[in-house]
């Protein structure tokens, strides 16, 4: 049975900790600079115009989530949380709320600042964003669980930023077709293509399927690592 009160207690604690952490707060606004730099004007022609959105999910969703978990470990409070009466679902939901809300706020800001034209099918767009957030927050939780300190998390997040957030930039530098094809299945490429095809009125079922597989796989890996760390 999931207790809203126990989840609320975790959220309030994380919120207070975040307000005291200038490093994480300053990191959270970085996507705004990318939105200004990659300001979209005119019609949408490629999925690259949606890159600021995926960068936001990586920088805010994954990094803040990883930093929150790593900070708990650094302060030796994570062990107490793992051994508390909270069940797995309550811990995951409670520790993810701040990252999810922060990501949504920054996505809205990035869309407005970057003049990013979202598709008219808002329900499908919202569903795609939700699934993508589950993926990136799960990745952030995994990084936080395997990191020992917040500083170590900052180093680990860098390759994640390059791989999952800047795929459109790297694809222009790659000549190997098999590698480009493989990269097309990464979450950032799938969400970009999904939004592009929604804009063009095309079917997006395949992209939803790939994103859903990513979401389920990332959640399962998160739970596995969490339980391993709990028993350790």
Query: What pLDDT, in 10s, does the model give residues 206-223?
Result: 999 999 999 999 999 998
3: left (phi over 0), alpha (psi -120 to 50) or beta: beta
Taking the C-alpha atoms of residue 153 and residue 130, their distance in angstroms, rounded to an integer, is: 24
Q: pTM to 2 decimals?
A: 0.86
Is residue 128 within 8 Å of residue 191, measured between CB atoms? yes
**pLDDT value of position 133:** 92
Q: How many domains is the chain built from? A: 1
**pLDDT value of position 158:** 78
Supply the angle between the helices 88-113 and 122-146 in degrees, to the nearest 10: 120
- The mean of the pLDDT values for the chain is 81
Angle at 188 between CA 56 and CA 176, to 5 degrees: 135
What are the tens digits of pLDDT across the range 142-175? 888 888 777 777 787 777 777 777 766 666 666 6
Give the domain extent around 103: 4-231
Taking the C-alpha atoms of residue 104 and residue 31, their distance in angstroms, rounded to an integer, is: 12
Taking the C-alpha atoms of residue 40 and residue 197, their distance in angstroms, rounded to an integer, is: 17
Taking the C-alpha atoms of residue 92 and residue 186, their distance in angstroms, rounded to an integer, is: 23
**pLDDT value of position 45:** 60
Region 14-43 average pLDDT: 76
């Amino acid at each position: 049975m999931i207790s809203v009160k126990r989840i609320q207690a975790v959220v309030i604690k994380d919120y207070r900790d975040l307000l005291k952490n200038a490093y994480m707060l300053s990191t959270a606004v970085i996507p705004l600079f990318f939105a200004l730099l990659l300001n979209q004007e005119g019609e949408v022609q490629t999925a690259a115009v949606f890159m600021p959105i995926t960068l936001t999910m990586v920088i805010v969703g994954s990094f803040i989530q990883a930093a929150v978990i790593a900070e708990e470990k650094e302060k030796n409070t994570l062990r107490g949380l793992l051994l508390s009466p909270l069940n797995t679902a309550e811990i995951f939901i409670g520790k993810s709320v701040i990252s999810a809300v922060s990501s949504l706020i920054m996505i809205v800001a990035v869309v407005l600042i970057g003049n990013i034209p979202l598709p008219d099918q808002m329900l499908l767009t919202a569903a795609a964003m939700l699934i993508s957030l589950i993926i990136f927050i799960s990745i952030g939780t995994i990084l936080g669980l395997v990191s020992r300190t917040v500083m170590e998390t900052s180093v680990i997040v860098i390759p994640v930023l390059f791989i999952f957030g800047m795929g459109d930039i790297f694809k222009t530098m790659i000549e190997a077709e098999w590698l480009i094809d493989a990269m097309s299945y990464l979450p950032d490429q799938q969400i970009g293509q999904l939004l592009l095809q929604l804009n063009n009125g095309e079917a997006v079922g395949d992209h939803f399927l790939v994103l859903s597989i990513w979401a389920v796989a990332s959640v399962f890996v998160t739970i596995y690592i969490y339980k391993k760390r709990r028993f350790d």
